[in-house]
């Protein structure tokens, strides 16, 4: 655990690990501290704000959201624990009629919570399920982004600065002005998605 002047403190990264919370949730709670009583930071460690661990834990235990039944997880928790973007989680939920996404187990205001064990089993089978599309179909970089649940702009750098495991294109098409269009095998993109997850 992080310490400040010998006292245990939390950075946001510590809170994400200790409580399984998403960064966006933590940032939202801090922004709304005048309404929700979120503790003030006790200082900084490096460039990161830190909060007294005991004070933060007491505040969190007193929150209504801390009473979400055990075993349930919201989008932030699922994103943090399973390495899935919030954007992809929203897509999966929106497509629930066709993909069999588990139903919500609990609602707290606008927040949705799922049985995490049930969701994890479903998600594992979902990413391992062969695509209805032919695995040797070629997809563009934009289509690969959609399969991965990423914004199209986030993958535009992959051909020049590929992340670990990023596949080689199956075909490269020369366009005017020195531009190229890359095509990837659907199965390679799906395999990369499974390894990321």
Residue range 145-165, pLDDT digits in tens: 888 888 878 888 898 898 999
| Domain ranges across the chain | 2-67, 72-128, 138-196
Percent of the chain with pLDDT over 70: 90
> Of the given ranges (37-41, 119-123, 165-169), which has the lowest mean pLDDT?
119-123
DSSP state of 134: -
Strand partners, 138: 185
Q: Say what the pTM is.
A: 0.41
The whole-number average pLDDT for the span 10-31 is 85
First to last CA, the chain: 27
pLDDT interval class at 166 (50, 70, 90): very high
d(CA 103, CA 157): 36
pLDDT interval class at 42 (50, 70, 90): very high
Domain spanning 2-67 has what CATH number? 1.10.10
DSSP state of 51: E
Residue range 46-73, pLDDT digits in tens: 999 999 999 988 888 777 555 677 788 8
Task: Output phi, psi for 76, to 5 deg.
Answer: -60, -45
Give the pair of three-digit tokens for residue 148. Answer: 């991965």
């Amino acid at each position: 655990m992080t310490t400040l002047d010998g006292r245990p403190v939390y950075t946001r990264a510590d809170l994400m690990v200790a409580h399984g919370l998403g960064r966006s949730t933590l940032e939202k709670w801090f922004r709304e501290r005048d309404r929700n009583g979120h503790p003030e930071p006790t200082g900084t460690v490096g460039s990161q704000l830190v909060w007294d661990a005991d004070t933060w834990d007491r505040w969190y235990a007193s929150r209504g959201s801390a009473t979400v039944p055990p075993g349930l997880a919201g989008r932030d928790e699922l994103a943090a624990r399973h390495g899935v973007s919030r954007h992809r989680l929203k897509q999966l939920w929106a497509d629930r009629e066709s993909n069999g996404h588990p139903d919500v187990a609990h609602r707290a205001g606008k927040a949705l919570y799922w049985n995490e064990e049930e969701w994890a089993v479903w998600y594992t089978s979902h990413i391992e399920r062969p695509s209805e599309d032919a695995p040797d179909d070629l997809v563009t970089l934009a289509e690969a982004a959609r399969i991965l649940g990423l914004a199209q702009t986030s993958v535009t750098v992959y051909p020049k600065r590929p992340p670990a495991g990023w596949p080689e294109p199956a075909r490269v098409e020369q366009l005017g002005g020195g531009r190229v269009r890359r095509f990837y095998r659907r199965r390679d993109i799906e395999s990369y998605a499974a390894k990321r997850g």
